[in-house]
Structure formats: C-alpha cells, structure tokens
Amino acid sequence: MELKNLAKYQEELFLCGRCGDCSLADKTVASDRDVFHPCAVKNVLGFEAYASRGRIMVMNDLLSGDLEINQDVVDWAYTCTTCKNCQETCTATAEGIHLPDMIEALRKDLVLNGFEMPKHVEVEQSVINYANPYKEPAESRLSLFGDRVWPETAEVVYFVGCTSAYREQEIARTTVDLLTKIGVDFTVLPDERCCGSVLLRLGRTKSFAALTEHNIAAVKRAGAKKLVTACAGCFRTWKVDVKKQGYDYPFEVLHITEYLDQLIQEGRASFASDVPLRVTYHDPCHLGRHAEVYEAPRRVIQSVGNVQLVEMETNKRYAHCCGAGGGVKNSHGRLSEQIASDRIAEAEATGATVLVTACPFCHRGLTDGAKLKKSSLTILDLPTFLLPSYKGAGTRHSATASTLKSTFMEYLRQHPRIFEGLKKEAVIDYEVEGERFHVLVTGKNTIEVVPVRAENPDVELTFSPGAVRKLVAFEREDDYAHQFGLFFKEPTHDEWIRFVLRLNIVKLLMKGYRRFAQKAGLI
Ligand code: SF4
Ligand code: SF4
C-alpha cells in the first residue's frame, strides 16, 4: 500500500530520539509542576501509542510495511487533535518533530487508499454540496442576523465561519453587535463558503482549492482591507494554510482578538465589568501554537475594568488542548469530552468563575466538558464575554508613557552588544513600571527595540525601577551583564530582575541564549 504523503516525512521520523518528552516532560517552564504531560489525548487514554513517540513508532512500522493498515489504525489516526503541544515540547529539532503535519499526511494517505470514516465522507460531501460541513442550506447562512442589509463593500469583512454561522450562533451575533457598537465599517460576504479547515484536518483536501479561490475573490469584491474572523480554525486556515498552499491575497487577516486589541489601543473601544470578575483564558490551539497569537486576547481581557485575569497551570505555548480540534469531536466524541473535562479541572483550579476562550470549537468542546464534569464554571467566547462590558470609546494608549521605559529602550538601542551571540529573530520582552517593550535581534549585533509587548517572546524579563536606573548608567556591556546577573541572583528589596522562559531550554540554547546567560554569570 502506498503512503506517499507520509513517506515525505520518512527522514524526520528517524530524528525522534524516543526521549518521551512528548508524553511526560521534565520541564518546569511549561507548568508549575516538575513534570508536564503535553498530550491531552494520551492523558485520557493512557497508552503510549497516543502520544507523539508512540505515534512515530506506529508510522515507522506503517511505512516499513511491518504494520498493516486496518480499521484500528484508522481509528487511532483520528484520535489526534493535532494540537501541536508535543511538537512544542519536542527538542529533537529546532522546530520539534512535525507530528501534526505527519498525522494529516497519514490521513490523506488513508483516504487515498480507501480507508474512510463514514462521518468524514459525510462532512466532505456536505462541504461540496452545501459549502459547510453541517448539511445546512447555504442560502440560510446569514439568516441568523435577521433582515439586516449588508453593504456590498466595506473596510472590514467579518468572515463568520460555519461553526459560528450554524452551531455557535451567539458568537456570530455578539461579534456583529460588538463591531456595530464600536462603529466599525464592516460587512459579511453574501456567499461565504467554508474556509476548508475541516477538509485539511481530516486529510480530505480535494475541494480545498475551489473554496479558497471563491472566498478570496469574494473578499476582493467587497474591497476590504482586513478580513476579521472570530473562529480560530478559520483564522489559522487563512493565515497559515492558504498561504502554504501557494495563495496570496491583498488584505490583512486578523483574529477578532487581534482586531479588538487594535481598536482598544487606538481608543475606539473600552470595557468595564459592573461586578468584579476573576477570569481565566483558554488558548485555542489553532490561534496559539498554530498561529502564534497568545498576547492579544490577554491584553483585551486585561483591558476590561474590574476583571482579574488568572492563568491556568498550562497556558500559552504549552496550554492543554480542549479536545475538540483535528476532527476528534466528530469521530471520537466521548474522548473529546473527557479531554475538555480535564481542561475544565485546570480552569477550576485557578479559582476563576469565568473561562473565556476565542474559538467556537473550543467553546463547544469546553461547554460539553463542563457538562460531563458537572462544573458551574461560566464558559464564554471572547466577544460574548466583552459585549455586556462595552463602555464606548476609550483613551488612546501611549506606547511610551513611562520616561524610565524610554530611557531603558534608548540605552539598549545604543548597546546592541548586550545581545551578542543571540540568533536572528530572538525576542526578549521587557517590563518596567508595568510598561512593556521588546528587543528583536535582527542580525549579528543588530537589534530593533520595539515599544510594545512582544506577541511571542522567548523570554520575559521584569525589572524593578531601581535596577533599570543602575543598569542604564553602565558604559560597558560587560558591566551591564555582570550587574544583570547580580540583580537576578542577589536581589534586594529595591533592585531585582525576574524572568520567565517561554521556550524550553534546548530551544533557547539553539537561539544562542547560552552566551547571554554566560556573560551574566548565570551559567
Ligand atoms: S498533536 Fe496533540 S493530541 Fe496529537 S499527539 Fe501531539 S500532543 Fe497529542
Ligand atoms: S519529544 Fe520528540 S524526540 Fe522525544 S520522543 Fe517525543 S517526538 Fe521523539
């Protein structure tokens, strides 16, 4: 049996060192515990075959012919949510072993060889016949918005997505209400079709091109400069997959969390809750690990007055999956609910009363998980969470409000040798007096100092004002480095530095942080 798509990963499959980090990693960076169990599926099902290492062994045996494909293998192939947590944890290569890509390649091969899941055949047929996976008549797509008349052209297209249009309609309605209240010039496409995400995840890619070409042409016709979606699946597809398939488009693609973040920064919207709320945030895999948007949703939540954001034990890059992605909810519903219920337990442990997410799939999955666990947690999608707190226009946020922050930024600009040894694209985020900025390494001894928080930093550093005042007085970079180390190792009440590593140690070493730490005497 030919496995031509999986065969493309044959060499990479051999790079797996069988360390087992993808099922149980000794990484304090990812969790407050000493160990971290990245694979939400393996955590429920227990067997090694469901974590990345086991999956790699099975795929090797499939390629060598030692293992025959049968219905058990097909079932197993569709139990991976392709959440990418194992890849983030894996240090076999700089990017980690591309397990989600391999699983999607294998699924393509299964389909090519006639191994089908009946439910998936139905999904594909539905996308072909109705332009959505839910067998809903295409002409009813916009009926959820009532008789509203949509302009033919606008600056922004709100791309609704099938799940919000047919199954999670509150998300679509509140997104529209929110954009309307803020006064955004926006429209929706009269003939929007499925973004194709479900086809890619299930390995049934035949119709993807036609959907994409249709949707790109429709957005162009609307003359939009921005396409905004509240669905993490649609967002990843537009932002990552459509481009990977060789398409380009003349508009910007933003997730609603990114767009709202911009509107808040520009002073076009502000939010405050009438009652104090403790809120936690679940990172959708398609928005976080697959498209690297972690900070924008947090900034939006933190901008809401009277709201305290508390993090779950696993968050951002290492957040556990909700279980609803990668086709798992469709073919293994009970497994999906059990994974979601584990995530609910993590959310409950924060003491939050509200769990916010930013994806209709996560919202559905987590709601089902909460039912299974009989949890009283309120689970809301971000626009639904925000709408009742809308307070009209706000104040424009100044990126350089603190003088100390400006002084520090200028100092670092003048001393790029502080970052000697770091590889291009290393990112360090700084915080002083509650103000953020970041340094981006652009080449050998060249940096860019950017006055806003880094979206996806390697390291987050927090400085006391006293530490900054002392550091910026040094002429020589070596003196700066030495003092930097002392502030970390021997902090005083007024002068200290704290840091959080956002990448695991091996990846930090690959980016050149060893030299940086050595100069500071940290290693
Ligand atoms: S992608 Fe997610 S679900 Fe699949 S093996 Fe990796 S961690 Fe487990
Ligand atoms: S973490 Fe990476 S190298 Fe280690 S067993 Fe898992 S896939 Fe293999």
**Ligand 2 centroid from CA 90, angstroms:** 5
- Fill in the DSSP letter of residue 397: P
Of 141, 143, 229, nearest to 192 by C-alpha is 141
Q: Which residues line ligand 1 at a C-beta cut-off of 6 Å?
A: 38-41, 51-52, 55, 80-86, 99-100, 321
**Which tokens in the block code for residue 476?**
């020589």
How big is the chain by its Cα radius of gyration, in Å? Answer: 24
**Which tokens in the block code for residue 163?**
């799940």
pLDDT band at 218 (very low <50, low <70, confident <90, very high): very high
Estimate to the nearest angstrom the gap between the alpha carbon of 499 and the chain centroid. 22
Mean per-residue pLDDT for 269-288? 97
Residue 326 lies in a domain: yes
Taking the CA of 100 as reference, the closest ligand is 1
**Ligand 2 centroid from CA 284, angstroms:** 23
**Do both 385 and 446 map to the same domain?**
no
With beta carbons less than 8 A apart as the criterion, state whether 351 and 387 touch: no
Mean per-residue pLDDT for 398-420? 87
Q: What percent of the chain has pLDDT over 70?
A: 97
With beta carbons less than 8 A apart as the criterion, state whether 326 and 202 touch: no
pLDDT at 336 over 90: yes
Domain of 474, CATH number, reads 3.30.1050
CA atoms within 13 A on the CB side of 374: 0
pLDDT band at 507 (very low <50, low <70, confident <90, very high): confident
* Amino acid sitting at position 334: R
Rounded to whole angstroms, how far apart are CA atoms 463 and 495? Answer: 8
Number of domains in the chain: 4
Taking the CA of 39 as reference, the closest ligand is 1
Rounded to whole angstroms, how far apart are CA atoms 365 and 345? Answer: 14
**Do both 433 and 340 map to the same domain?**
no
Residue 504, judged by CB atoms within 10 A of its CB (0-12, 13-18, 19+), counts as buried
* Predicted local confidence at residue 453, as pLDDT: 86
Residue 23 lies in a domain: yes
Mutate to test the pocket of ligand 1, among 36, 44, 82 (most ligand atoms within 8 A of CB): 82
* Predicted local confidence at residue 302, as pLDDT: 93
Where among 331, 356, 391 does a domain terminate?
391
Residue 338 lies in a domain: yes
pLDDT at 505 over 80: no
List of residues 6+ apart from 402 with CB closer than 8 A = 432, 433, 435
- SS3 state of residue 158: strand
Mean per-residue pLDDT for 171-196? 97
- Minimum CA distance residue for ligand 1 atom 4: 80
Where among 113, 140, 173 does a domain terminate?
113
pLDDT at 32 over 70: no
* Predicted local confidence at residue 28, as pLDDT: 54
pLDDT at 474 over 80: yes
The 10s digit of each residue's pLDDT in 116-164 is: 888 999 999 999 999 999 999 988 899 999 999 999 999 999 999 999 9
pLDDT band at 71 (very low <50, low <70, confident <90, very high): very high
Least confident piece of the model among 146-160, 254-268, 290-304, 498-512? 498-512
Least confident piece of the model among 300-309, 364-373, 487-496? 487-496
pLDDT at 50 over 90: yes
Angle at 163 between CA 253 and CA 117, to 5 degrees: 110
- SS3 state of residue 89: helix
Task: Note down the domain range covering 243.
Answer: 118-261
Mean per-residue pLDDT for 159-174? 97
Mean per-residue pLDDT for 227-251? 96
**Do both 151 and 95 map to the same domain?**
no
- Minimum CA distance residue for ligand 1 atom 1: 82
What residues pair up with 432 in beta bridges, in sequence order?
A: 435, 463
Q: Which residues line ligand 2 at a C-beta cut-off of 6 Å?
A: 16-22, 52-53, 56, 89-90, 92, 97
Closest ligand 2 atom number to CA of residue 19: 4
pLDDT at 33 over 80: no
Domain of 94, CATH number, reads 1.10.1060
- Minimum CA distance residue for ligand 2 atom 2: 90
Query: How far, CA to CA in Å, does 1 sit from each of 64, 70, 305?
Result: 10, 12, 60
Closest ligand 1 atom number to CA of residue 100: 1
The residue to which tokens 């012919």 are assigned: 65
Q: What percent of the chain has pLDDT over 90?
A: 80
What is Dmax (Cα atoms) for the chain? 69
* Averaged pLDDT of the chain: 93
**Do both 383 and 466 map to the same domain?**
no
Where among 85, 113, 141 does a domain terminate?
113
pTM for this entry: 0.86
